[in-house]
């Protein structure tokens, strides 16, 4: 059967026309004429029909402030809708591939890999694999929640037009709805009047978990079981985690009260979802007892429920006489209703709920109801297994300086000079304090200590109560940002021990995760981790957690410190080093990849990233951050979300199989030497750029960083201390600012210098070609840099450079332009491609978007060069940032 297919050109044409109609109606025909003139002139320039952008720039200079705002709104709205058209095209493509067989990188490919292995090896791989996407609240989502809601309404209408057989009247009705939705979108402000609060970010993350992932996880397991034809039970393969409402690093608004409300809301959401499923299940499980053979375990389960909830059991028997399955479901519903309640009889933990569901599934299969169990019980069991009673487990995070300050203060009250100790003295002292009983300090006593120390102690005290109320799994990880010494980890263990969260050697309720992100920390990995593994107190705590050490790698700050190529290489070889260290100590390692949405912050296709990791580090369990616009792009649509999860699973299973292959090919020594040479030169060039006279002045003048800092993107401040320095600025606004100028140097600067250094020392271009085709790491690194280069437009960037004073402009921009040109040459020479991107559809998308982004960039430049701006001009300027972000499909 051939699927009906709308074309993306039809969606783009109709949506573009609709924007024009709404623009004329809501503003004026003259405003429409202005936008149309800018649009066609930009297309003519890109097509070579005119040889200068001067007509566009002149038209923009003549606009009144109100008309500038209309122009910015029109192009921004266009991009928001075209992004939905591209999302719909991706769904169409996935459906077609599914109908034809299976898309590349899907679970059929997984099945092929596993079919070549014996049963024991397959079981080991599946037992090893656990994928943990971790949603963060990092402020990279430029759109308001209200705007996103309206866009999802448009997406739903497009889906209906695309996938349903409609009468003419039904189609006209939907078209009226679409016009109303776009009109409402036009009339809605794109800009936030206030910064989102942490609970706003919590609700945003919860939406994807509740409305998409909850429904698709069971389908992914079913697809895997069908593809592999596995009769064995497939273990848990996914677990979702979140930082929203719990990440305290640099965000003073994330208080214990916020985290507690997050936990409470998440439990309320997931229990409500289970109750909805049980209500539906009750309609299915209406089997007559006379037609059933109930086993002893089901009768015992009903009897236990009757003893536990006698009144409810009587009601169930009255309402559903001779329907034991329905009676059981009603009792389960009531037990769910009492989770976290003062009333007795609720489920104590999620394993009890899972056990009841498994018993029902077994009963159905005993009574020839296999298809019912497969359709209704098995997916729900998988969902319960994945989301538990927490929806998503939370990670706590804070900066290591805050822990050090707190420990120093509470010990100072005991007459102990922790601040004056050397590092070795600190590790020895903390170990002794952790191992001793009773506690050394009172975490309840916050008198006469700083606000920082008070906040930290309040958090640990609250953590102990959260474990009692919500279970250990609700908040079982504590991440330490900017961790550089063993004592930074032991300080957290000490505070957890004093609060009763850890009681070595018998118990530890916390995984303590060092975040290694600076070059000093990464190069000192053996010093840090080796010291910890040899520390008696830490070794005991680790043993209580199953001897699995989670280590987080910071992609963003590593890139900001070292540049793209050097950061990637440092992360790669230090991952290998961490694998060797943990192997030496007999510790299982779980890497936590702190990736952002943009290329420079570790973004790019997740399946490529997983397959390019060093095999020594692929232990099966993997954790990575998902944030900002990347969450919406991956998880807003159920079909796309399913595809993302399938690709992750396929890539991780294949990577684990490769890691277990002891005959795997080692990396050529010449390739390793090439990367050492290239990365050293690239790091030197990147740091020379950042330290060049006038660079900070250029960055401040030639990018919209000052606008981005005031955009109300997230609840976390844009910089760590409010100062305007590269070191102090957070990675997200740093990347965002360069991306706006169509010169995302964070994804390619110093790449050419590094590769040329290798070639200059006698290296061969043919060797680089071999590295590209035969080494997944190098290929992924270069492909991602190629994408950043493809999104670069040096002519537009020159317009931003003109905003800077002449001296820093000449010093900095000429350097950027030279590096860019050489990088493009080298990428084409190494890959053998005419285009920078390897995916034809992506090149087409960039080419189509460019002439629509250009007017927004040119308008933004004109607004930035004004010495003073009115309130409406400021609003327009902020809107251009939103529009360019939508057009580039990227922020930070």
Which residues, in sequence order, are CB contacts of 340 under 8 Å at separation 6+? 264, 267, 271, 346, 469, 470
Q: State residue 803 phi and psi, 5-degree precision.
A: -75, -20
Half-sphere exposure of 247 (CA within 13 A, CB side): 23
Token pair of 422 as six digits: 């050397």
**d(C-alpha 112, C-alpha 114), whole Å:** 6
Question: What are the distances in angstroms from CA 126 to CA 236, 256, 377, 380, 854?
Answer: 9, 37, 22, 20, 49
* 502, β-bridge pairs: 508
Token pair of 837 as six digits: 């991107």
**d(C-alpha 784, C-alpha 802), whole Å:** 28
**d(C-alpha 789, C-alpha 831), whole Å:** 14
The answer to whether the CB of 504 falls within 8 A of the CB of 498 is no
Q: Is 560 assigned a catalytic role?
A: yes
Token pair of 868 as six digits: 């003073």
Catalytic residue among 354, 560, 634, 889: 560
- Residues 573-608 as b/e (b if ≥16 CB within 10 A, e otherwise) read bbbbbbbebbeebebbbbbbbbbbbbbbbbbbbbbb
Using DSSP's 3-state secondary structure scheme, residue 516 falls into: strand
Question: What are the distances in angstroms from CA 206 to CA 84, 260, 436, 575?
Answer: 21, 15, 41, 32
Using DSSP's 3-state secondary structure scheme, residue 255 falls into: coil
Which residues, in sequence order, are CB contacts of 152 under 8 Å at separation 6+? 636
Q: Give alpha helix (H) positions in 129-167.
A: 145-163
Which residues, in sequence order, are CB contacts of 182 under 8 Å at separation 6+? 15, 18, 19, 22, 77, 81, 154
Catalytic residue among 138, 467, 593, 623: 138
**d(C-alpha 85, C-alpha 13), whole Å:** 10
> Could you tell me which of 734, 704, 740, 707 has the C-alpha nearest to residue 883?
740
Token pair of 276 as six digits: 């909805």
Cis peptide before 505, with omega less than 30 degrees from 0? yes
Question: What are the distances in angstroms from CA 267 to CA 133, 253, 352, 475?
Answer: 19, 22, 16, 13
Using DSSP's 3-state secondary structure scheme, residue 450 falls into: coil
- Residues 772-791 as b/e (b if ≥16 CB within 10 A, e otherwise) read beebbbbbbbbbbbbbbbbb
**d(C-alpha 67, C-alpha 27), whole Å:** 9
Burial of 345 (0-12, 13-18, 19+ CB in 10 A): middle
- Residues 836-858 as b/e (b if ≥16 CB within 10 A, e otherwise) read bbeeeeebebbeebbbbbbbbbb
Question: What are the distances in angstroms from CA 31 to CA 54, 69, 273, 863?
Answer: 20, 10, 47, 19
List, by residue number, the catalytic residues.
138, 560
């Amino acid at each position: 059967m051939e699927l009906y297919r709308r074309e993306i050109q039809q969606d783009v044409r109709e949506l573009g026309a609709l924007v024009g109609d709404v623009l004329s109606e809501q503003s004026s025909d003259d405003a429409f004429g202005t936008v149309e003139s800018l649009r066609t002139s930009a297309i003519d320039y890109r097509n070579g029909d005119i040889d200068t952008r001067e007509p566009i720039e002149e038209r923009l200079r003549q606009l009144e402030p109100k008309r500038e705002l209309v122009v910015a709104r029109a192009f921004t709205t266009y991009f928001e809708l075209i992004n939905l058209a591209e999302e719909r095209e991706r769904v169409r493509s996935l459906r077609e591939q599914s109908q034809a067989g299976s898309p590349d990188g899907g679970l059929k490919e997984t099945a092929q890999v596993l079919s070549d292995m014996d049963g024991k090896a397959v079981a080991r791989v599946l037992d090893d694999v656990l994928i943990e996407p971790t949603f963060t609240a990092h402020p990279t989502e430029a759109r308001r929640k209200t705007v996103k809601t309206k866009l999802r309404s448009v997406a739903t209408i497009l889906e209906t037009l695309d996938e349903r057989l409609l009468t003419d009247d039904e189609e006209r009705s939907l078209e009226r709805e679409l016009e109303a939705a776009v009109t409402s979108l036009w009339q809605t402000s794109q800009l936030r009047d206030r910064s989102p609060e942490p609970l706003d970010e919590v609700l945003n993350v919860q939406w994807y978990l509740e409305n998409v992932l909850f429904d698709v996880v069971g389908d992914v397991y079913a697809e895997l079981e069908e593809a592999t034809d596995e009769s064995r039970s497939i273990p848990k393969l996914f677990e979702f985690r979140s930082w929203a409402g719990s990440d305290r690093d640099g965000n003073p608004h994330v208080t214990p009260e916020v985290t507690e409300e997050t936990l409470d809301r998440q439990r309320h959401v997931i229990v409500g979802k289970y109750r909805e499923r049980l209500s539906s299940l009750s309609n299915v499980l209406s089997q007559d007892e006379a037609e059933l053979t109930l086993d002893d375990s089901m009768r015992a389960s009903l009897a236990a429920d009757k003893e536990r909830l006698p009144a409810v059991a009587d009601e169930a028997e009255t309402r559903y006489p001779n329907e034991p399955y329905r009676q059981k479901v009603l009792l389960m519903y009531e037990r769910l209703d009492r989770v976290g309640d003062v009333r007795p009889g609720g489920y104590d933990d999620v394993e009890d709920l899972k056990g009841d569901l498994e018993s029902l599934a077994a009963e159905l299969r005993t009574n020839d109801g296999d298809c019912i169990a497969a359709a209704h019980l098995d997916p729900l069991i998988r969902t319960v297994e994945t989301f538990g009673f927490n929806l998503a487990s939370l990670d706590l995070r804070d900066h290591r300086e805050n822990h050090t300050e707190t420990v120093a203060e509470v010990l100072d009250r005991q007459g102990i000079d922790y601040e004056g100790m050397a590092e070795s003295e600190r590790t020895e002292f903390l170990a002794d304090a952790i191992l001793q009983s009773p506690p050394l300090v009172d975490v309840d006593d916050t008198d006469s200590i700083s606000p920082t120390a008070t906040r930290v102690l309040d958090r640990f005290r609250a953590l102990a109560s959260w474990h009692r109320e919500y279970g250990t799994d609700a908040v079982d990880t504590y991440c330490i940002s900017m961790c550089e010494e063993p004592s930074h980890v032991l300080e957290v263990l000490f505070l957890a021990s004093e609060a009763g969260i850890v009681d070595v050697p018998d118990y530890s309720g916390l995984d303590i995760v060092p975040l290694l992100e600076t070059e000093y920390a990464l190069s000192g990995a053996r010093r840090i981790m080796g010291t910890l593994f040899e520390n008696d107190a830490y070794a005991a705590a680790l043993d209580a957690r199953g001897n699995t050490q989670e280590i987080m790698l910071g992609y963003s700050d590593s890139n900001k410190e070292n540049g793209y190529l050097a950061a990637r290489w440092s992360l790669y070889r230090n991952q290998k080093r961490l694998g060797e260290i943990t192997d030496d100590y007999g510790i299982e390692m779980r890497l936590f990849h702190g990736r952002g949405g943009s290329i420079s912050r570790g973004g790019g296709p997740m399946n490529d990233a997983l397959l390019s990791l060093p095999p020594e580090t692929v232990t099966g369990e993997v954790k990575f951050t998902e944030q900002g616009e990347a969450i919406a792009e991956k998880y807003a649509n159920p079909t796309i979300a399913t595809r993302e999860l399938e690709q992750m699973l396929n890539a991780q299973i294949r990577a684990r199989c490769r890691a277990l292959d002891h005959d795997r090919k080692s990396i050529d020594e010449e390739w390793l030497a090439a990367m050492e040479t290239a990365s050293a030169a690239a790091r030197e060039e990147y740091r020379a750029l950042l330290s060049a006279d006038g660079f900070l002045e250029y960055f401040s003048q030639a990018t919209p960083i000052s606008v981005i800092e005031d955009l109300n993107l997230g609840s976390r401040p844009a910089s760590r201390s409010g100062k305007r320095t590269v070191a102090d600025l957070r990675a997200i606004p740093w990347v965002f600012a360069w991306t706006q100028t169509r010169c995302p140097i964070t994804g390619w600067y110093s790449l050419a210098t590094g590769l040329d250094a290798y070639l200059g020392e006698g290296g061969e271009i043919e060797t680089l070609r071999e590295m590209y085709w035969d080494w997944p790491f190098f290929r992924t690194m270069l492909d991602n840099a190629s994408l950043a280069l493809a999104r670069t437009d040096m002519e537009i960037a020159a317009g931003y450079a003109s905003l800077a004073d002449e001296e820093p402009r000449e010093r900095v921009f000429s350097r950027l332009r030279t590096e860019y040109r050489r990088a493009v040459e080298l990428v084409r020479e190494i890959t053998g491609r005419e285009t920078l991107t390897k995916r034809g559809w992506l090149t087409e998308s960039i080419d189509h978007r460019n002439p629509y982004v250009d007017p927004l960039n040119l308008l933004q430049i004109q607004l930035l060069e004004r010495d003073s701006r009115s309130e409406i001009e400021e609003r327009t300027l902020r809107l251009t940032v939103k529009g360019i972000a939508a057009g580039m499909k990227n922020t930070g």
